Structure 1
């Protein structure tokens, strides 16, 4: 039985991707062991368990090893049936997956690059694309006319986009920029507050001051790397 097999999760404290998996496991009431990894000094265990990407998160369920946070969310939902997180309708399920990818590939990428770049024209371009993707996500939330993307309780898309509520404000502070304007994005702003205050989420968020210090270092390192690549 799935419930009798040990569950372990390899993660890194400041990464939002393992947090998604923790939130899903907590919603399901699944007991798990969290194992902290140093992504800058990867252990042989991590390299063995995830030889393709060599990164966290990694979910271990008994003898099974699952990579990639979105794949983990679906595995968790199909393995533990209590508290379904994916929509039951096939179309709604497909669109939840689509918007989750938009969050990572458009908003996450552009917001992080805007924080890190040393060039003002690049920053403006990244910010513009980040805001445009957030506009689309805001429209999805408005159409649902509910507290969460998943309705009155959090679901797959809330978990997938949950990083917006906590990581994005830190990036805005570190990057001296604004993406989530409460006037332009009232629904997202309210949703962010609801997510941060959800009992499953708020107990599994990294210390904000520690995050600010980390991303100040991250901005310096990545910014220098991007500048060097641009110079060729």
Structure 2
């Protein structure tokens, strides 16, 4: 990193979107300052200043300039710091990586997330839709170790909710979407993902995440928060 260059990340430790920015920086070996935000409480004046439109984490602050929205942040990081690229160089492959990252955000993530929070009488349909999305996502692996090939790429980073967080929610709720029987290739990918040396150092502690899941679910059931 150039002398005097300042990189800061405003995030929340249990946010898969924050994890995207942090993981990309770590994969590239970029030093940064991390600022933890209380997203369930009062958001800091700095977060509201740097992301006044969405008022959400993550925010990447590079030399005083804020970049928001996690997929935009990933592309910015890859353009600024060239080592260990997370997007392919080939234009077609790059377009496909963007497609799958957007598919995850627009289709897969909402469908999977809905299964844990929808009313009981809607759950069967929600699970069916989520499993269809996971099946589609699995096709993008196409027998590869990672979505990015032999190395982690932008789609792996984008799909980190499935790579780590999903199985912790399954453990707490007892609702199983992802299993080795249903999605053998995707399930194997999750093991490869969480055991990658850089990812392993970056993920939230598993016990802490499980406890946080329990707290969130209890607050939701008590009507204190909305999913």
The two structures have a TM-score, normalised by structure 2, of 0.92
Cross-structure match for 2:81: 80
Cross-structure match for 2:5: 5
Per the TM alignment, residue 85 of structure 1 is displaced from its structure 2 partner at its CA by 0.8
Give the alignment's Cα RMSD to 1 decimal.
Answer: 2.1
Q: Is the 8 A contact 1:116 1:175 kept in 2?
A: no
Structure 2 CA distance for partners of 1:16 and 1:121, relative to 1, 3 Å: same
Cross-structure match for 2:61: 60
Cross-structure match for 1:205: 203
Per the TM alignment, residue 162 of structure 1 is displaced from its structure 2 partner at its CA by 2.0
Query: Deviation per CA, 1:37-93, whole angstroms, max 9, x where unpaired?
Result: 101210111111100000100000002110011000000000011111101122221
Cross-structure match for 1:169: 167
Aligned length: 226
Q: Is the 8 A contact 1:141 1:187 kept in 2?
A: yes
Cross-structure match for 1:31: 31
Q: Is the 8 A contact 2:111 2:133 kept in 1?
A: no
In 1, distance between residues paired with 2:215 and 2:108? 21
Q: Is the 8 A contact 1:114 1:175 kept in 2?
A: no
Per the TM alignment, residue 207 of structure 1 is displaced from its structure 2 partner at its CA by 1.8
In 1, distance between residues paired with 2:103 and 2:174? 24
Structure 2 CA distance for partners of 1:114 and 1:82, relative to 1, 3 Å: same
In 1, distance between residues paired with 2:223 and 2:129? 21
Partner of 1:211: helix, strand, or coil? helix
Structure 2 unaligned blocks of 5 or more: none
1:4-153 counterparts in 2 under 5 A?
Answer: 4-39=4-39, 40-117=41-118, 119-142=119-142, 145-153=143-151
Partner of 1:190: helix, strand, or coil? helix
Partner of 1:166: helix, strand, or coil? helix
My pick for the range that moved more, 206-215 or 151-160, is 206-215
Residue from 176, 179, 202 that aligns with 1:181 = 179
Query: Deviation per CA, 1:202-229, whole angstroms, max 9, x where unpaired?
Result: 0111122222222223224345659x9x
In 2, distance between residues paired with 1:162 and 1:14? 12
Structure 1 unaligned blocks of 5 or more: none
The two structures have a TM-score, normalised by structure 1, of 0.90
Per the TM alignment, residue 4 of structure 1 is displaced from its structure 2 partner at its CA by 3.9
